[in-house]
Structure 1
Amino acid sequence: MITLPKIQNLTFRNQLLFSFLIVFVPLILISNALIFVQSRNLIDAGIEKELNQSVTFLKDLIQITADIGIKNRFKAITKFKFRNNGYAFIVDEKGNAVMHPFLQGKNLLAQPQAFSAVIQKILNEKSGKIKTFGLSVPDTRPGEQLVIFRYLPQYKWIIGAASYVDDIYTPLSTFSTLITLDILFFLLAFVVLTYLLSRSVTKPIENFTHILDNSEAGDYSIRLNYNAQDEVGSLARHFNSFMTRMEKDHDQLNDPSQKTIATQDTLKSKELKRQVLFNLSFQLISIISPDGIIEDVNENQLAFSQCTETDVLYKPYWDSPWCRHDEKCRQEIKQAVERAALGKTARIETAIVDGDEQIKEVEISLKPVCSDKHVEFIVAESRDITEIKCADKERRKLLIQLQKAQKMEAIGALAGGIAHDFNNILSSIFGYAQLAQMNLNNHEKLNNHMNQIIKGAQRASDLVKQILTFNRQAKNQKSPLKLYLVVKEALKLLRSSIPTTIEIVTRVETRDMVNADPTQMHQMIMNLCTNAYHAMTTSGGTLTVSLSTVDQIAPAHQNKDYFRPGPFLNLMVKDTGKGMPPKAIEKAFDPYFTSKEMDRDTELGLALVRAIVEDHKGLFCVENIAEHGTSFFVYLPVVTKRGSAAGSHTGSDASLKPGKETIMVVDDEPDILALIEELLNRFGYSVHPFNNGKSALDAYQKGNISFDMVITDMTMPHMTGIALAEAILAENKNMPIILCSGYSETTTWSEVRAIGIQAFLEKPLDTHLLLSTMRALFDK
């Protein structure tokens, strides 16, 4: 039986009435009270005005009739009446009634206390108004009176007018009675209206409730007979429609055959959908137990491994055919399954083998499915990422090729300027060397000339380092880097090749560091500046390079796909050329795009710059103003930790003490070998020179000489310095070895240090640095 809470028709009516009493009745009472108070105030003001006018009239009347006898004047005043019961009176300063309709000629202060008190107050104030009950005399009715009085100084009289207050407010009382009757009538009308309105709404609902209460249990044939075109009629129609559907569903459910068939069809449909989704998924999916046993696999997984369900079902997931090639892969997957069995989602990247014995890179996600906080089973989903990995490797390979090609182009552009600088340095060295030969007997001049030769050689060394830094093909190694130093170095190198018609303005406002590869940062700056000055080769202009730290990326430069927090190092490269057309900006990041004329050398564009910036987790954008130039902005995340230097581990402040140790020196350049031998002999060391690595290693392995240190060049024929160091360290891991190199594009300091080599010095060698490094290693 369908039952509903009994509908009380009085509830709605009472709520409606109560709402009126709470909201509308107080509003009506307050509004009527305000009207009553305002009306009283208006009447008070009007009566006071009339009394004032009456007193003024009497005052004027006394003054006008001053030449008339006193009795005639009093007779005229006595006839004066104010409203129905009002009267006028005159008293002197001693309280005698000069004129009074009831107490003529009497001393008013000798009257009863209430009366005399009012008179005394009038005598004290002389002019004003009061409300009092004290002026009633035996021949008059008692009541509250309003008194207005004025002082006549020429007569020393006080003239006043009095009137009963109840006479004044008689109209107001009538008005108040009408308001009360109006409120009572309104309340009665509303109660009747409320009853009629509630009855019209609750009556059909009460009928519906009665029908439902009297219906039998399970009776779905109940219908409500109410067809009015109102809200209750709409409710009845919706109820009838609902009961029709309920009756139909109930009949189907009560039919055993229909119920079984419907249930089976539903289950089959759901199972079919699940199986289709399971097998049609592009991912390799397996259902495994918390113990790692495979309970089900989809068709894509079987096709990938070219096996059947018999080959994989009810076996450990890590013993499946796709893991049989590598024990490391098996252990990684087993550990991931164990984590998933604890209720944690596990994700790993590993390599599995397909049915053709091809190694595939995959990303495996193991997601536990729990019930009552227990893992029921684990869904293992594998995604083939081989193509993604290959594409990433190919992209990096193309990037390296792009870098090499651009370096060759940039070096060609810089060749003229570098040749000019190098010839100037060589001219200085040749000139001072010739002057030194001319002044061999003058030790002071000879020393000055030799110092100038050393300075020139150092300048040449710095210039070579700049070229090698730009052209180095080393691996991408990021470490905390002071970018402002790279900016200064790049602009110094670039100044040689930029026409003098182009002014370079540098604004470095920060010394913050970024996690970056120095070579790529150098190349990025050179590329941006080269693109900028190409836009100004015709008429010249200004190339502005600024470096600053910002807390966030400028709104105009923000990218919806870039979500890294600040602060950022902001590098801006701006030219004053003609700007770039919109179509050119769209293609500016395509490799080998150029906006130059066809008869000029093409450039690689900004594709390399964007690749470098993205590889360093930064953001690159362009601002273009037609006829005013183009600005390039690079945002790189700031880091605070300073990385260790990749150079020598010794300081240059070590004292140049002599020594007696035995040193092996290996270099294929006879001049350098002789230079080091003479230098070390001068400081007391026992030096054994070798011009190649093989002879040096043979001498070491024979053991006829007990060497205390090895100083070797890196690049030598037959056996490199690194190979020699590895062989010696294999026999004596504590042997101090100093590796020297003029240039290497394949080996970094971190790789050298990993071998066990304790110091690395760049050529040309600084003799003081060499001696102090040797002494520091011996002392350690």
Structure 2
Amino acid sequence: MKKMVSNTKGSLAPKFSWKYENDEYLASSWKLFLKPRFLMPEWTIVLSQMKIDLLSHLRNFTIIFPLVVLLSLWIVVILSMVYIRRSLVPLAKLKEGTQRIAKSDFNSPVAITSGDEFEDLADSFNTMSGQLNRQFKALSTVAEIGNATTTILDISYLLNTEMNVIQKYLDFDRGMILLPQKEENCLYNAACYGYSDEHKEYLQQNKFYLTSVEQKEIFSLTFKGQKSFVVNDIAEIEKGVAKKSLEFMKEMNVHSFIYAPIVYEKKSLGVLTLENTIAKRILTQTDLDLIMGIASQTAVSIFNAMSFEKLQESEERFKKAFDSAASGVALIGIDGRFLEVNTQLCHMLGYTDEEILIKTLSDITHHDDQDIVVDSMKQMLDGAIPSTWYERRCLHKDGGVVWTFISSAILYDNAGHPLYFIYHIQDLTEKKKAEEEREKLEIQLRQSQKMESVGTLAGGIAHDFNNILSAIMGNAQLSQMDLSTDHPLQQRFEQIITAGNRATDLIKQILLFSRQSEQELRPIQIKPVVKEVLNLIRASLPASIEIRKEIFSNSTIVADPTQIHQIIMNFCTNAGHAMQEKGGILEVNLIDVELDSDFVSQHPDINPGPHVMLSVKDTGYGIPSHILNQIFDPFFTTKKKGDGTGMGLSVVHGIVKSHHGIITVDSTPGKGTTFTSYFPVVQTEIQSDNKTKKHLPTGSETILFIDDEPVLAEIGKNMLASLGYTVMAKNDSIEALEMVKAEPGRFHLIITDLTMPQMEGGELAENIWHIRSDIPIIICSGFNSKMTAGKLKEMGFKALIMKPISMEIMAQTVRRVLDEIAS
């Protein structure tokens, strides 16, 4: 046996090999430690095995171990694939869940029932998804309601839209918005969703009256007390609200609810109610916060809608007031252009809206009033005045003038910048016409009063003047009777009498002008009247005016000579006034003309046939065409104040018409004017004035002559005495009455003045007729407007002799009356 030792230092079991019969053995040895009680040497244990046998196990291991490792690897791979597969499916489901969430689909939960961590993860995921769903719906609700708030301004449509949004996103069975009805102090259902028709009818029939907060009506608490409620079961609040409210909620099948006040700036605008009829998830403070936020948005939207509604109503009222205003209203830009106008202004100026909106204020303003408009706008823009009031003339579309009264103001924005002017324009045209008419009437009234005064004065003058003329002309006539016909003084007395007659005609003109006498129409020739006027007018015209005349007509017309005199005098006076500065030619023509149908067709106020044409032409400054049709209007004049009243041509026009004639006028500014009048001719011969002495009728009767003027009484006595009558003259009416009483049958005729002191002629006559009713009485008067010929006849007077007394008229009248009585 051969021993080979191979050991490692420090090894607990020394190893060695040995051979036996060519077989090599491998061995290891261990020494045994024995306690001291074992009294023996140390023991060594040796383990040995043939080397070949030991290595055969190792060879088997090198073959089996890789196989085992490879198999293990396959098992590990298979197990890993199974595990991975089991892990990926839940993960895929979780991935799909996240993708659905990304697409806002929160209604499909992740279904994992693995019973491990993945199932727990899926449950957590689904819980998170539910929370996200609620938050998404809340945000969507808030966003859509916010959008509605900014875009919808109709309250009804707005509230119904909010209800639809809440129904779409929030998990409540039904909802309602209650608004106050101030007239009845209650709340009414303004919008709702989720209610059955039966419940809607119930809500419509029942009104939620706003009682005091102390009565604990739930809607009053919410609205008046601005208290919110979140209740998961109405049993929770049985002791906190009124019995009536509980009965209502039970009637409506309410299980859980949230009631929130709709409040804007501390003012309650309504109540938002959301309800569930069955048990659902627990309502939390988060839900209440969301609903309060929605209620707050609703409050803003209601306030905006109400404000817009009020604004619309205000604008509508403004528009109606703007368009329906009795006066014109306009908004005018700072540059003077029209921005907006109402119908009345368009009607006032004759424009359409489109036509006037392209114009400026200056375009419609009369050129003489432009400065007023410009200055007022400038002062307002400068801040000197806040507003203006003034009258100005506007221009109508047809070019006419529209008188207006304007009140204007300037409007500013919040920054103080001027925006535009607002103008109120009142049409004063009719008022101005009325004022002009009133002024004319006032002038006419003053003129009438003046004429009345003139008439009164003229009557007094006529009476006194005729008395004076009676004395002058009476004495002249008596003197002529005392002289021989060839006496040199006869001609002088005749001139006195002629002048007296002219003065008499002048008195008649004064009385006619003052309407104190009636016109005396009789057949006359115009020719001598024209000549007389030209003789009179020559002295009043300056030497620079030449008079040319062509007086050919000898035709007769029916006219009042005094009025014809007035016509010619007015024409000539106006012509002289038109030429007084530069001089010129005054041409007067009087000719016969035949008016044909063509002429008459243009002048319907006159008939065809023979007429006398009187024309007065001047070479003065002429009459402008735009006032030519006004010259015959009363009080119209172009003369300066004090130079004329505007009555002349108006009176002349009236006189010509009363004589069945017409007036035409032709004028060229700067060249002159021609007035032409036409009078119809009559085929009547005029008795020529015979200047030879006529035989005056005489008599021998006894006459009582009464006049308060001693001179006139004496003249009357002498005139009658010269005619052979026995005459008693008295200048006191009382003495005359006493004389008649003393000898009633003495007098055949009484002649008495009308106007006397103590007792007038009319009263005297009545007293005499009481004494003797058959005695004839003749009235002699200088003037009395009250005594007409008809009235005197009714009173019983036999005749009227006007002063100044003509010897011829006296003789003829006295003889005629006495002869009538005798017959």
TM bucket (normalised to shorter chain) is 0.3 to 0.5
Which one has a bigger Cα radius of gyration?
2
TM-score (norm. length: structure 2): 0.37
User: Would you tell me which structure has more strand in proportion to its own residues?
Assistant: 2
